[in-house]
Structure 1
Amino acid sequence: MAHAASSTQQPVRAAVAAFIGTAVEFYDYYTFATAAALVLGEIFFPSHDPFLSTMASFGTFFVGFIARPLSGAVFGHLGDRVGRKKMLVLTMFLMGIATTGIGLLPSYATIGIWAPILLVLLRILQGIAVGGEWGGAVLIASEHAPPGRKTFFASFPQMGSPAGLILSLLAFRFVTSLDHASFVSWGWRLPFLASFVLLLIGMAIRLGVKESPEFERVRNTNAAAKYPVAEVLRTAWYPILLAAAATTIGSAGFFFTNTFMISYATAWLGMSKSFILDCLFVVTIIQLLSQPVSALLAQRFGETRFLCCAAVLSMVTPYPMFLLVQTQNAVAIVAGISFAVVTLSAIYAVIAGFITPAFPTRMRYSGISIAYQLCTMIAGGTTPLIGTMLAQRFSGQWLPLAAFFSVLSFVTLVGVVGLGRYKRNQLAMAEWAPPSGRNA
């Protein structure tokens, strides 16, 4: 009886641990993103031109994304060889140390060029940590899930993203209430230093979760891939590209509506930092509540159909979003951004469960990590930079920005359609394969 109860509780425990751990990691990541939009340019890249300082700050933000595909490959290899749980504990430790270190960094005025150099190095460490985090968190939740509920359980680590953002926005809402001199001097550091406390909480929770049962079965039967990264790149490069395309708006969209939108609202529309942060805080709560609903709907009506509908809607949403943001009315801003965020977060909630079955268990960590981190480097990390350049080039006009958002959504639509077809073909081949499986 005790064993049966433990077996029943473990999927829930794994999902909750994936959610809380991912929330802590994304708190760290979004803390850097928010600080990049608000203050890091002034602290580490001082210039007479605020545009140049902002671009340098977002450039440092992008550096973290460069490390993510390589990190995804390294942690994917280790996760497929050694286990999912050990990698999740290691990535959380690395993220907590990097984020706390940023909070302790001296400014450019204090140590000169070493300040931005050290900032870049710690940002790379953040990228390494989150590059290995996502795939492990998704698998520890989905591979513990009961049959028929993998999409819903895989959405739990996805909810860690808005939860981490809520924590980050709360932290910055508190410190931006300080006068400007205090905020620039020491206030901006507090959200980074708080990461150490969250690190201890997250580590304690993750250490209490068992290894994935699907991975254990592969390991116990000696079926683990010897070189999973090499194998997945050789045999599954096509689904990797499709999965990367399918995750585009789910990754890049958040950096558009959160990171870039802070800069756009303050620099081009003249809103106060605290005002736009308050609006985004409400939007993120709506996102957090909507994501599990999206996962349940996708599980009910079919993932491919649901994702295609969400991607088409996401192509339309930026136009009313910008029209409402231009009013500078709090209710209108929340409504406009929420409209866009609910549609793209519907994709984000479901995409993990959608792409995971495209790869066999023995090289699954490697496959989904490489695909997702490739997408985040190309689309996610460049989105604030491209948005800032478009706003500067077109004097803050919103139509080119909305068109850019639509293009990102269209790439996702293409990826979803292609990967859905690929999975159907693979299933058909498996059903028609001879008993020996030689042609499977």
Structure 2
Amino acid sequence: MSTPGKTGLRGPIHGTRDAKRVASGSAVGAVIESYDFIGYGTAAALYFGAVFFPSEDPLVGTLLSFATLGVGFIARPLGGIIGGHLGDRVGRKPVLVTSLIVMGLATFIIGVLPTYQSVGILAPILLVVVRVVQGLAFGAEWGGAILMTYEHAPWKRKGLFTGTVQAGFPIGLLLANLVFLISVHLPGDLAWRVPFLVSLVLVIVGLVIRSKVPESPVFEEVKTSGQTVKSPVVEVIRDDWRNIVRGIFLRVAETAGYAISVTYMISYINDHELASTDQTLTAICIASALGIFATTGWGALTDIVGRRPIYIWVTLFAAAFGIPMFLAANTGSFVLIIATITIAYIVCQNALAGAQGAWFPELFQANTRSSGASLAYQISAMVSGLTPFATSLLYMWLGWLGPALLFVVYALLGFGAALVTRETWTRADREFVNRKIAELGHSTSAESSKHPEPHPSSPNHDDALN
């Protein structure tokens, strides 16, 4: 039997009565945030090169467009630091609501920005500024949404519940591309403006839902017991920097891999006329629709087999898939393009995202969890944001083999990180929780687990909470 992990589970063993509502509210917010952020990636691939960075060479325009995409990713770690600090100091819920408002306003503003043709160099400058604001908001979003859900969820189903939140991202991807698929037929600039403008409606809906979710019970207990720390970011970097570094490399395999297999692939297929814009967007819509169920399913699978095995096997698969992925796309076969993008998304991305939802929070202590998980998650975004730009340069040097090899490298980095990162949901942990549930008579009431026996993984058994 393996030795239980260091970090203990906290909160009601059966979860709170609000666990499902919190997961739904967090997922809805994730849908909106990803719609806004991913919508920008689609627009950058299809429109922004010509609209904001006109050039005689279309590749130059694409490079500059992807550079602004990267600016948002570079801003995300700062958003993660701000959101993580506030999440550990004042609560998870305020971060959720504020990040959603900021993201919504920034996205709406993109929809009304003047183009290069109308105001010249001011247009790309304004685009970069708004993109930075988007990055700050998105950086703050993930930690609050995941931790709220994780800390409300039942002990033995944390993978499933956090996987539900992570599934908000393929839903956002689906909505964004469906809107672009429809708006592509609109005249002139409306083709790219409309998707950003309609996001305001989604934001209003999301705010109504998120305003009704209760604060995390784990944070409330940490606050009541005086366990909050003055500078959680400083403390987690000082005491737990190794897990932050591991988390960064784990994330790079997923998010930077996505930047190649989806974001860059859209541009690659479009520039080389391997498929029409409609066909490319259709392929993305099919992949993201399947990804909704795949992400949740992968998260649930981690509750059965653990977090680490999923990562190890999927990153190995991704490393083997990098070159065949481009070979299939190069055929120009619509069926193969759909299959390639779908496999890349529902396996190489969704599986890793599904595992991260529970694994990342479990790597850190409750009073610095928001800061630690957010830093690990968002610092990797700098690599991801620059990846489409880097792949464009690699293509100029090595052709399609350059991006393919970079995808393989990212997968191997994730594989190596998984090997040196501890399992937080071992067989011993799962057996312990099953015993406790059996002892409690399989009660579904959160009150029945008000004072559970301390989890064997706890660094201090007195830290097990109600």
Both structures adopt the same fold (TM-score exceeding 0.5): yes
Among candidates 341, 345, 349, match of residue 341 of structure 1: 345
Shift of the 433–73 alpha-carbon distance from structure 1 to 2, 3 Å rule, reads closer
Structure 1 residues 433 and 103: alpha-carbon distance in aligned structure 2, compared to 1, 3 A threshold: closer
DSSP-derived class of the 2:388 partner = helix
Deviation at 1:407, TM superposition (A): 0.6
> Superposition pairs for residues 252-291 of structure 1, below 5 Å?
252-291=256-295
| 1:158 partner amino acid | Q
Residue 250 of structure 2 corresponds to which residue in structure 1? Answer: 246
Query: 1: distance between equivalents of 2:133 and 2:45?
Result: 20
Please give the secondary structure, in 2, of the residue aligned with 1:317: helix
Residue 102 of structure 2 corresponds to residue 99 of structure 1: no
Per the alignment, residue 146 of structure 2 pairs with 138
Alignment of 1:23 with 2:22, yes or no, is no
Q: Distance in 1 between matches of 2:235 and 2:425?
A: 19
* Per-residue CA distance 1:57-113 (angstroms, 9 max, x = gap): 100110111111111111111110000011000000000000000101111111111
Q: Where does residue 175 of structure 2 map in the other structure?
A: 167
- 2:403 is equivalent to residue 401 of structure 1: yes
In 1: Cα distance, 2:423 partner to 2:154 partner: 25
Q: Which amino acid aligns with 1:360?
A: Q
* Shift of residue 9, structure 1, vs aligned partner: 4.1
Mapped contact 1:265–1:271 kept (Cα < 8 A): yes
Q: Given residue 405 of structure 2, which amino acid in structure 1 is its aligned partner?
A: A
1:156-305 matches, within 5 Å, as: 156-178=164-186, 182-183=187-188, 185-305=189-309
Measured in 2, the distance between the counterparts of 1:68 and 1:423 equals 28
Structure showing greater relative contact order (alpha-carbon pairs closer than 8 Å, 6 or more residues apart): 2
Displacement of 1:433: 7.2
Secondary structure of 1:197's match?
A: helix
Structure 2 gap segments, 5+ residues each? 1-11, 430-455
Cα offset, 1:7, TM superposition:
7.4
1:375 pairs with 2:380: yes
Decide whether aligned partners of structure 1 residues 164 and 381 sit closer, same or farther in structure 2, where only a CA change above 3 A counts: same
Q: How does 1:22-61 map to 2 (within 5 A)?
A: 22-61=30-69
In structure 2, relative to structure 1, the CA distance for the partners of 1:433 and 1:81 (3 Å cut) is: closer
Counterpart residue type for residue 400 of structure 2: W
Distance 1:376 1:293 in 2: 24
* Structure 2 partner of 1:416: 418
CA-CA distance at 1:400 after TM superposition: 2.6
In the TM superposition, residue 213 of structure 1 has moved relative to its aligned partner by 0.6
User: Matched residue pairs, number?
Assistant: 422
Work out whether residues 269 and 326 of structure 1, in 8 Å CA contact, stay in contact via their aligned partners in 2: no
Identity value in percent: 36
Question: SS of 1:420's equivalent?
Answer: coil
Report the CA distance shift for 1:7/1:267 in structure 2 as closer, same or farther (over 3 A).
closer
Instruction: Quote the Cα distance in structure 1 between the aligned partners of 2:159 and 2:458.
Output: 26
**Cα offset, 1:271, TM superposition:** 2.6
Matched position secondary structure for 2:213: coil
Question: Which residue matches 2:21?
Answer: 13
Using the alignment, how far apart are the partners of 2:163 and 2:460 within structure 1?
35
* SS of match in other structure, 1:222: coil
Q: CA deviation at 1:203?
A: 0.5
SS of the residue corresponding to residue 25 of structure 1 reads helix
SS at match of 1:247: helix
Aligned mates of 1:339, 1:106 — CA distance in 2 = 38
For residue 230 of structure 2, give the secondary structure of its aligned residue in structure 1.
coil
Q: Partners of 2:177 and 2:404 in 1: how far apart?
A: 24
Q: Distance in 1 between matches of 2:63 and 2:404?
A: 20
Task: Please report how far the alpha carbon of residue 268 of structure 1 lies from its aligned counterpart in structure 2 after TM superposition.
Answer: 2.3
The TM-score with structure 2 as length reference comes to 0.87
1:352 matched to which residue of 2? 357
Whole-Å separation in 1 of the counterparts to 2:112 and 2:201: 15
Give the partner amino acid of 1:358. L
Distance 1:161 1:436 in 2: 37
- CA separation of 1:135/1:264 partners in 2, compared to 1, >3 Å: closer, same or farther? same
Q: In 2, distance between residues paired with 1:292 and 1:337?
A: 19
Q: Distance in 2 between matches of 1:7 and 1:347?
A: 24
CA contact (8 A) 2:307 2:425 kept: no
SS in 2 for 1:177: coil
Report the alpha carbon displacement of residue 187 of structure 1 after superposing the two structures with TM: 2.2
Q: Is the 8 A contact 2:185 2:191 kept in 1?
A: no
Judged with a 3 Å threshold, the aligned counterparts in structure 2 of structure 1 residues 435 and 210 are, in CA distance, closer, same or farther, namely closer
More helix by share: 1
* SS of equivalent to 1:69: helix
The residue that corresponds to 1:315 in the other structure is 319
1:390 is the counterpart of 2:394: yes
Q: Which residue identity does 1:419 align to in structure 2?
A: T
Q: CA separation of 1:300/1:257 partners in 2, compared to 1, >3 Å: closer, same or farther?
A: same
SS in 2 for 1:104: coil
| One-letter code aligned to 1:404 | L
CA 1:434–1:29 in 2, change beyond 3 Å: closer, same or farther? Answer: closer
Following TM superposition, the consecutive aligned residue runs of length 4 or more in structure 1 with deviations greater than 6 angstroms are 421-424, 430-437
Q: How large is the Cα RMSD of the aligned pairs? A: 2.1
Supply the AA of the counterpart residue of 2:413.
Answer: V
Separation of aligned partners in 2, 1:142 and 1:422: 14
Secondary structure in 1 matching 2:111: helix
